Structure 1
Amino acid sequence: MTPDQSQLALEKRHAAAAALRWVRDGMLLSLGTGSTSAAFINLLGEAVQAGKLRVQGTATSLASENLARQLGIPLVEPCRGLRFDLAVDGADELDGQLRLIKGGGGALLREKLLETASDYLLVIVDSTKLVPQLGRFPLPLEVVPFALPWVMDAVEKLGGAPQVRMAHTGSDQLYRSDQNNLLVDCYFNVISDPEHLMHQLQNIPGIVEQGLFLGLAKAALIANGEEVQVIRPGQAPTPASEFADLP
């Protein structure tokens, strides 16, 4: 039975709370985007306000940046040489090898920038996000507006059934990223070879970034009810409670 929204909200909070246990004083954090990341930022903010943690962060979206500021989490601007001790972020889909689809919230460019600049990417998700094969969730692309027609043609040839994302359901306004680019959602249904598709998309002019995150995640915390398990590539799931530090 698929969990309802209240159950999913609890799972997201459980995964976020498990991640917070591994945050240490002095860490520089990459703060993710989306509902599960928001749960983590809220818990982190509570710890900062209570004086339990002294950390700094950079956010992967304006929404997460605003939330962090409201909660008193000190923020750091991008600069040369900046690297993060830990990135904590959600995912729209992940498989057992920790290959991810991200970008449902439209922040894939900043997410990939910060998570590539992180020493450790920890993914936090609810029980619905783990899939045997990527592709059920539409793959997002961030696209330069001028290039949109040609990007749509190229993706259609790859079997992606591209659709330009709208600002809201029923709206005639196009969704814009924080960088003022467009988002295109590609319905592949099944992505049998994510690595090959990633390279194909990277070679299409006008695509600023694509939502396949491969080889970046070190571990994932997956909440199923109140139980949180650690998933690592090639290893059996392990209860998160068995780890005092990052796995």
Structure 2
Amino acid sequence: MAGELSPIDKAKFVAAKRAAEFVEDGMRVGLGTGSTAAWLVRCLGEMVREEGLKFRGVPTSTRTAELAREVGIEVVSLDEARWLDLTIDGADEFDAELNLIKGGGGALLQEKIVATASDQLLVIADAAKEVEHLGAFPLPVEVIPFGWPTTQALIEETLVAMDVMGRGATLRMTGDRPFITDEGNHILDLHLGRIGNARQLAMVLNQIPGVVENGLFIDICDIVVIGYGDGRIEMRDINSGTVENDRLDFVETDNLFSDLGD
């Protein structure tokens, strides 16, 4: 129930609820991965059931696809959709220019492909995700399994010349085994502390053999919807330079809040 949610979950919920209003009948919509994106999928599922909203969703991970089908959203692949009207996703960090770090959930490759195949990327986040400089959150880098220790060494060597505070990299694990992405790859988490030039770092990392993609989303996000635990919502549009403020009153509904597993 809404009244039993923590302040952080309330913030995620109100951001997701506001972002869901951008989805219109007939749209092709990218659906992000992670805890905040899961709130969005639940909200959209409720709109499908209660309001008859009809759209096609392109999930960015297998778990998002499973949740979308569970709540009644029509799921199609990016190959079928070809191009999207809108993608809505969460972020691990965002700065004043709406540059992002993403990939905490391990789906950064599909998330970046889907986001760049969209007319707009709308990011939903709680206020704690806003930072002055990216980098406090570990930067995920997806690498192929073959020779990953060599790739890690090359990354750490490259970081010496980059404008970052830290240079450590660790292999993401699930229990005692390496985390495996939907594409069968590994993820190295870079513990940088602070990234001085995110655009440069993103370009350099992708030149390293073995690197598939990195979690820096530069000049991709158009709008961020920020939720607060008291129901306030702030919406920033980087293209128009506008900032809008709103508030969402909580309505307790078993339909939406029951068995939310993410």
Name the TM-score, length of structure 1 as normaliser.
Answer: 0.91
Quick one: which of 200, 206, 226 aligns to 1:202? 206
Q: Report the counterpart of residue 74 of structure 2 in structure 1.
A: 74
**1:228 has 2:257 as partner:** no
**CA spacing shift, 1:77–1:132, aligned 2, 3 Å:** same
Amino acid aligned to 2:171: V
- Determine the C-alpha separation between the residues in 2 that align with 1:239 and 1:81: 33
- Determine the C-alpha separation between the residues in 2 that align with 1:236 and 1:58: 28
Equivalences for 1:1-80 in 2 at 5 Å? 6-79=6-79
- Determine the C-alpha separation between the residues in 2 that align with 1:119 and 1:147: 37
Structure 1 SS opposite 2:178: coil
**1:219 has 2:226 as partner:** no
Residue identity over aligned pairs, in percent, reads 40
- Determine the C-alpha separation between the residues in 1 that align with 2:212 and 2:245: 38
**1:164 has 2:168 as partner:** no
Per-residue CA shift, 1:70-110, capped at 9, x if unaligned?
11110112327711111000000000100000000000000
Per-residue CA shift, 1:214-240, capped at 9, x if unaligned?
111001001123111012338363215
Deviates more, 1:171-180 or 1:153-162: 153-162
- Determine the C-alpha separation between the residues in 1 that align with 2:8 and 2:56: 28
Amino acid aligned to 2:57: G
- Determine the C-alpha separation between the residues in 1 that align with 2:147 and 2:212: 10
**CA spacing shift, 1:110–1:135, aligned 2, 3 Å:** same
Structure 1 position 23, deviation (Å): 1.2
Amino acid aligned to 1:8: I
Per-residue CA shift, 1:165-198, capped at 9, x if unaligned?
011xxx2111110111001100110000001101
Structure 1 position 147, deviation (Å): 3.0
Q: Report the counterpart of residue 245 of structure 1 in structure 2.
A: none
**1:238 has 2:252 as partner:** no
**CA spacing shift, 1:147–1:80, aligned 2, 3 Å:** farther
- Determine the C-alpha separation between the residues in 2 that align with 1:240 and 1:186: 36
**CA spacing shift, 1:33–1:81, aligned 2, 3 Å:** closer
Amino acid aligned to 2:26: G
- Determine the C-alpha separation between the residues in 1 that align with 2:119 and 2:228: 27
- Determine the C-alpha separation between the residues in 2 that align with 1:90 and 1:62: 16
Q: Report the counterpart of residue 191 of structure 1 in structure 2.
A: 195
Structure 2 SS opposite 1:229: strand
Structure 1 SS opposite 2:63: helix
Structure 2 SS opposite 1:128: helix
- Determine the C-alpha separation between the residues in 2 that align with 1:80 and 1:44: 21
Equivalences for 1:177-188 in 2 at 5 Å? 177-188=181-192
Give the gaps of 5 or more residues in structure 2: 161-166, 248-262
Structure 1 position 199, deviation (Å): 1.0
- Determine the C-alpha separation between the residues in 1 that align with 2:67 and 2:185: 22
The answer as to whether partners of 1:98 and 1:232 remain within 8 angstroms in 2 is no
Equivalences for 1:132-151 in 2 at 5 Å? 132-151=132-151
The count of corresponding residues between Structure 1 and Structure 2 is 234
Structure 1 position 52, deviation (Å): 3.0
The answer as to whether partners of 1:138 and 1:186 remain within 8 angstroms in 2 is yes
Give the gaps of 5 or more residues in structure 1: 242-247
The answer as to whether partners of 1:96 and 1:233 remain within 8 angstroms in 2 is no
